[in-house]
Amino acid sequence: MDAEWQPTMGLGPTRLSVFQLAARDRVYILDMLALSETLTEKDWDLLYTEVLAASYIKKLGYGIADDIKLVMETAQSPHAMFDNVVDLSKFAQKLQKDYPTLLKPVNAESMPSKGLSELTRLVLGRPLNKDEQCSDWENRPLREAQLKYAALDAFCLLQIYDELHSAARKKKLDLEDLFEGVQPGAESGQAKRCAVNEDRARPQHPVPGAEFRVVVDTMVQGLGRYLRLCGIDTIVLGNGEHHDQAVKIAQKEGRVVITSGAPYERLKQYLAPGRCFNMDTSLPAQEQLRKYCSSTKLWFVKRNLLTRCVACNVSRYALVAHADMRQLCEFQAIADRQVLGSSTVETLTRNYWAGCSLNLRSGLFSNGTRVQCGGLSFERLGGVETFYVCTSCGKVYWEGSHHIKLKEQMRLANVLSCDAPVVDVPGSSAD
């Protein structure tokens, strides 16, 4: 048996999300969030008396103390108790100390594992994949990968038990006698849940930036801007937003967290291996980008540069002609909008795609976003034929010398792929 829950980072009580019971022929995954709202005390009594408290049924767990505590808090009953439970985490320590021959030889070249993953490696010959360990267990419906992980996390305990039984018989040992003294203890569930091995989690092959999603906290806002310039889907926490918000966003949207220092040490506990990166904040943003790309094998192609709004992270632009942008700015400079006759309004609307139009008179897109044309100097921008306007926040971009400078910076940072296509997409920040 095993259980999954959502880390709360001390911000509230822990709620049991999933409770898994594996038998020989099937695995039962109980949605404890739903069942806690629907089952009665009588229903929970049956679970305890027929299974959990039944002395004739051996229950296997790994670091099971916190799981049991949460089950009893959720499934409240006068008969709430567990009987005949074996904690394989304690049993593994006993085996390594007193009966190491029951375990498979350790390959010195293999990557180190931790916890249950290490035990499956020592007994079954292969480590358990724990990538889903710290995923969002409160989001419904659970993903197929989560369901498979939950089922395997419980079922592998039976496989370990059977393999140890077989190995013990060959050594003429009684495994049941060895189980004495390995009842559940007060092992830290957080240590069980979120052990991270970053070296093993790092990708072995190049990762295209277009497939990457990130959330950066206030420690590395400058890096977040560079990632957006490179076309990376990047959420940047604002000043005043707590670091813990990054974990919530990452778990909900499947993003990687980039932070630094003490926040990194805390946040990495609540994310799967390789999903939290510790950045050196003493480096300038461009060097941070170089370091991150080198560590994660991330690369970009030129066609993705400047395709995402630096201000709001959206990657959808309306291409506004020079004459239209000039007219729009002139209208916004007029204090009294009523000087324009209503008959003129219809001809001042430009359509870009289905559901997106721009009224030059009001400076508003059909979704209510206002074009930010304040400060544009058409004397200086006379050679710009097309402006790229973010339809989400209204920020205005155009292709200029800084577009060329950015590409050169990315080249020097060695994060542009030499083998990828280099077709340019216009669009350059007006920063």
pLDDT digits (tens, 9 = 90+) for 228-285: 988 899 999 998 888 888 988 888 888 899 999 989 988 888 777 778 999 999 999 9
> Distance of alpha carbon 216 from its chain centroid, rounded?
12
Res 100: pLDDT: 85
Side chain identity, residue 389: V
CB 309 within 8 A of CB 315: yes
Res 31: pLDDT: 96
Torsion, Cα 22 28 30 35, to 10 degrees, reads -130
For the segment 203-229, what is each residue's pLDDT rounded down to a tens digit? 444 555 556 789 999 999 999 998 998
Indicate the SS3 state at residue 71. Answer: helix
Tokens 């003129």 sit at which residue? Answer: 344
CA angle, corner 138, sides to 137 and 141, nearest 5? 90
User: How many Å apart are CA 166 and CA 169, to the nearest integer?
Assistant: 5
Q: Which residue has the higher pLDDT, 24 or 418?
A: 24
Indicate the SS3 state at residue 380. Answer: coil
Q: Which residue has the higher pLDDT, 112 or 406?
A: 406
Length of the chain equals 431
Which of 12-16, 75-79, 195-199, 424-428 is the least confident region?
424-428
Tokens 């190049």 sit at which residue? Answer: 206
* Token duo for residue 36: 């806690």
Cα-only R_g, the chain: 29
Q: What is the DSSP letter of 370?
A: B
Using alpha carbons, select from 172, 234, 192, 191 the residue that is nearest to residue 209: 234
CB 274 within 8 A of CB 198: yes
Side chain identity, residue 202: R
Torsion, Cα 93 96 98 103, to 10 degrees, reads 130
For the segment 138-149, what is each residue's pLDDT rounded down to a tens digit? 889 999 999 999
H/E stretch holding 49 reads none
Side chain identity, residue 129: N
Q: Which residue has the higher pLDDT, 307 or 9?
A: 307
Residues contacting residue 169 through CB under 8 Å, at least 6 positions apart: none
- According to DSSP, the residues that pair with 300 across neighbouring strands are 416
Quote the mean pLDDT of the chain: 80
- The model's pTM: 0.50
Mean pLDDT of 55-74: 89
Side chain identity, residue 419: D
Tokens 């089922």 sit at which residue? Answer: 151
Res 215: pLDDT: 96
pLDDT tier at 79, thresholds 50, 70, 90: confident
Q: 36 pLDDT exceeds 60?
A: yes
What topology does CATH give the domain 199-299?
A: Rossmann fold (3.40.50)
Res 1: pLDDT: 96
User: How many Å apart are CA 187 and CA 85, to the nearest integer?
Assistant: 15
Q: 159 pLDDT exceeds 90?
A: yes
Cβ-count burial 50-65 (b if 16+ within 10 Å, e if not): eebbeeeeebbbbbbb
pLDDT tier at 290, thresholds 50, 70, 90: confident
- Check: CATH 3.30.420.10 for 2-195? yes
Proportion of the chain above pLDDT 90, given as a percent: 36
Res 402: pLDDT: 67
Per domain, the residue ranges of the chain are: 2-195, 199-299, 317-402
Q: 101 pLDDT exceeds 60?
A: yes
